[in-house]
């Protein structure tokens, strides 16, 4: 029998041999490597009760005690990078350099969480009237549910949960059922760092478990990263059950290139940002929008040889540029998207279908695929394609490119390559996207800036990374206090509203 992957509850791994299971498949080989056990409502109820009690004590502990654990967790992440790389590769298919970059961004998020005492400081005003002082304080919201995607098995769970822990909450993490092992290891590292049992828990499951989490009265907040359809559902259902919800969803990120740009740099950036990790990134460049026909032709001539030189293969091959897509279902969906774009009139420049990797013939591989002359009525413009399929939309002006970018439903990121400051200023002011890059192909902010899209790329007011993460996981209490003199004469009775 394949290995069973269990939950992490109250400081230990729990495996229910009678529970529903789900296969874990290595996308590089197409072979099942383990079985994942699913949690039911009873398991969730038990975990919420444990997390509530443990979280209350943790939230009452000092800032110094909490930050010591966060610092130690950072050190353990660094020490266990190689082990995490292997887990990411086996379950996601991501090659080692890409996975190492992911872990680096995770560590950056932990480092910012070490500033939790600073970003959760309250306000104070003396003698607002009648000798009364007023101060505000940020306190933990309680038990938070974190639901994470397959494409970043370490970065998203770490960034999403570390600030929650740092400000005093307990966490129930539900990772993607495709990539569960790294998250279990993260829970074990938290325990090694000294986090009290019950503060960080991992439960595995599918939509049924998510619904239980959204409905459970003991969970105060929900943080989600994933597809737009699921994210919108989670936002509406979670808020309907009086939860604080931050839902980070899909992206269709446009890269506009002006005629004055460094076209060689732009072409390299498009290939790197568009096809890295088999394009399974919400911040990947999806569409290239050259301004002017000459710009388009020059870019195409630079891009095609770069794409043809890319090597696709298993995560264990140090020479590969990107690996497989995550599942057989994902591969079929991407192949269908390619066929549809052909049917809709897109010009297929490179076709990545039918790729076979020697020795790994059952892996879920697709080569780099590129369409030219994409139009706004095509699926490739309208929908996020989570695979190595990118498109070129030719435009005649910067204003046309901005209009096409803003007409899309998504507003995660948008990028402009130019040498002209006025063009950059117009672009950054007019584009409706949460993260904008100027000559930066993937404008993912550093850990001390807020991360989040606009329009249908995010639901709710929360952000990952940055100060807003601390605000999302805390609530404000405002205290008015007065300390009268011992011999102060009692004031006469008055029913008037005190305004002095």
Label residues 396-425 b or e (16+ Cβ within 10 Å = b). eebeebbebbeebebbbbbbbbbeeeebbe
Closest C-alpha to 441, from 306, 239, 286: 286
Helices 181-192 & 155-166 angle (0-180, nearest 10) = 30
Write the CB contacts of 163 (distance below 8 Å, at least 6 apart in sequence). Answer: 109, 112, 113, 116, 469, 470, 473
Note the helical H segments in 421-479. Answer: 421-430, 466-472
Please identify which of the residues 114, 146, 282, 341 carries the catalytic annotation.
Answer: 282
3-state secondary structure of 9: strand
State residue 341 phi and psi, 5-degree precision.
-65, -35
Label residues 95-109 b or e (16+ Cβ within 10 Å = b). bbebbeebbebbbbb
Geometric angle at alpha carbon 239, from 235 and 243, rounded to 5°:
110
Report the C-alpha gap between 94 and 281 in whole angstroms: 11
Q: Both tokens of residue 197?
A: 């049992």
Write the CB contacts of 278 (distance below 8 Å, at least 6 apart in sequence). Answer: 93, 312, 322, 323, 324, 325, 366, 387, 388
Label residues 227-240 b or e (16+ Cβ within 10 Å = b). ebebbebbbebbbe
Give catalytic status of residue 114 as yes or no.
no
Report the C-alpha gap between 412 and 430 in whole angstroms: 14
Write the CB contacts of 274 (distance below 8 Å, at least 6 apart in sequence). Answer: 255, 284, 285, 286, 288, 388, 390
Report the C-alpha gap between 188 and 173 in whole angstroms: 13
The residues annotated with a catalytic role in the active site are 282
């Amino acid at each position: 029998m394949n290995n069973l992957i269990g939950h992490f509850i109250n400081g230990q791994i729990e495996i229910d041999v009678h529970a529903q299971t789900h296969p874990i498949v290595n996308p590089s080989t197409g072979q099942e490597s383990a079985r994942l056990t699913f949690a039911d409502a009873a398991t969730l109820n038990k975990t919420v009760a444990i997390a509530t009690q443990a979280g209350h004590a943790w939230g009452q502990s000092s800032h110094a005690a909490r930050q010591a654990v966060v610092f130690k967790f950072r050190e353990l992440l660094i020490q266990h990078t190689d082990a995490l790389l292997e887990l990411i590769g086996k379950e996601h298919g991501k090659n080692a350099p890409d996975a190492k970059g992911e872990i680096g961004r995770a560590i950056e998020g932990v480092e910012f969480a070490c500033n939790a005492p600073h970003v959760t400081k309250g306000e104070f005003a003396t003698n607002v009237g009648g000798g009364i002082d007023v101060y505000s304080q940020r306190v933990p919201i309680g038990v938070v549910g974190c639901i994470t995607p397959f494409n970043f098995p370490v970065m998203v769970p770490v960034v999403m949960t570390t600030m929650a822990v740092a400000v005093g909450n307990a966490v129930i993490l539900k990772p993607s059922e495709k990539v569960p092992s790294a998250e279990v290891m993260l829970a074990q590292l938290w325990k090694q760092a000294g986090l009290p049992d019950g503060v960080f828990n991992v439960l595995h499951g599918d939509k049924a478990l998510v619904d239980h989490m959204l409905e459970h009265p003991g969970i105060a907040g929900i943080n989600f990263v994933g597809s737009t359809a699921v994210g919108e559902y989670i936002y509406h259902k979670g808020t309907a059950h009086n939860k604080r919800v931050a839902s980070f969803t899909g992206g269709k990120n446009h890269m506009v290139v002006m005629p004055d740009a460094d076209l060689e740099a732009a072409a390299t950036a498009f290939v790197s940002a568009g096809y890295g990790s088999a394009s399974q990134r919400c911040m990947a460049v999806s569409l290239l929008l050259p301004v002017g026909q000459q710009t388009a032709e020059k870019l195409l001539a630079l891009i095609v040889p770069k794409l043809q030189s890319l090597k696709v293969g298993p995560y264990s091959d140090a020479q590969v540029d990107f690996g497989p897509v995550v599942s057989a279902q994902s591969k079929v969906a991407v192949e269908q998207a390619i066929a549809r774009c052909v049917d809709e009139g897109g010009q297929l420049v490179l076709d990545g279908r039918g790729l076979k990797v020697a020795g790994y013939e059952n892996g879920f591989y697709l080569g780099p695929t590129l369409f030219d002359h994409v139009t706004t009525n095509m699926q490739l413009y309208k929908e996020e394609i989570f695979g190595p399929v990118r498109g070129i939309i030719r435009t005649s002006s910067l204003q046309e490119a901005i209009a096409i970018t803003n007409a899309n439903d998504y507003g995660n990121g948008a990028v402009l390559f130019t040498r002209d400051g006025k063009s950059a200023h117009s672009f950054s002011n007019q584009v409706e996207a949460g993260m904008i890059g100027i000559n930066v192909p993937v404008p993912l902010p550093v850990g001390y800036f807020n991360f989040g899209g606009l329009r249908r790329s995010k639901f709710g007011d929360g952000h990952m990374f940055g100060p807003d993460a601390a605000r999302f996981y805390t609530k404000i209490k405002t205290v008015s206090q007065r300390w009268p003199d011992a011999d102060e004469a009692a004031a006469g009775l008055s029913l008037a509203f005190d305004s002095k």
